[in-house]
Structure 1
Amino acid sequence: MAGAPAVSLPELRSLLALGRARLIDVRSREEAAAGTIPGALNIPVSELESALQMEPAAFQALYSTQKPKLEDENLIFFCQMGKRGLQATQLAQGLGYTGYGIVLLAGE
């Protein structure tokens, strides 16, 4: 997908093994319930903008995990085909998420 950095599956495996990636599945709750990457946080793309603008305590209460920081590296958005992942990546960048490695999971 043009317009977003991408990470390959081998790169993703390496980042995950090192604990240096945060995965956000931007598919619908139904799609994610059918199966997702272990450890991924599901925030449907339709909710992402409001989620990323929440106060940290509210985010923690709703998603049971710490809110990503603006400078977090390797914040990886993914979906089924890439369109929603790209949309999520662009949305996060527009909200000021500037950490190197806001990436879109490249399909393989």
Structure 2
Amino acid sequence: MKEITPKEVENLLIQGKELNIIDVREVEEVAAGKIPGAVNIPLGLVEFRMSELEKTKEYIMVCRSGGRSGRATQFLEGQGYNVTNMTGGMLEWEGETE
């Protein structure tokens, strides 16, 4: 499983890179703040909403601490998607939130 740190994600955003970030936390958690531009697909819905994702794009999976996003990453990887887990999750995120 590919992994990326919150600092690396923040640096890519600062450089102006277009990132496809999927936040797999529950709606209430995301309401408290998410990475700007992240799309919320709660972990329990990933299987049902994966048709919204494109296999040609790269996605960064995010959750609170890295556990749920790790499970989502493994699942989507098994389905042929190009996904990377953000280790440490939002607990280690120091960048902007919306």
TM-score by shorter chain over 0.5: yes
Distance 2:3 2:74 in 1: 13
| Unpaired segments ≥5 residues, structure 2 | 93-98
Q: Which of residues 9, 13, 19 is equivalent to 1:12?
A: 9
> What is the CA distance between 1:21 and its match in structure 2?
1.6
RMSD: 1.5
> What is the CA distance between 1:68 and its match in structure 2?
2.5
Which one is further off, 34-43 or 13-22?
13-22
- Aligned sequence identity (%): 38
Secondary structure of 2:49 counterpart: helix
Hey, what does 1:85 align to over in structure 2?
69
- The structure that has the greater radius of gyration is 1
Residue 106 (str. 1) matches residue 90 (str. 2)? no
> What is the CA distance between 1:26 and its match in structure 2?
0.1
Distance 2:7 2:31 in 1: 24
Secondary structure of 1:87 counterpart: helix
Deviation >6 Å, runs of 4+: none
The count of aligned residue pairs is 88
Distance 1:89 1:22 in 2: 13
Distance 1:10 1:31 in 2: 21
- Residue pairs, 1:2-81, within 5 angstroms: 4-16=1-13, 17-53=15-51, 67-73=52-58, 75-81=59-65
TM-score of the superposed pair, with normalisation by structure 1: 0.72
Distance 2:53 2:11 in 1: 20
- Bigger share in strand: 2
| Unpaired segments ≥5 residues, structure 1 | 54-66
Aligned letter for 1:41? V
Distance 1:103 1:96 in 2: 12
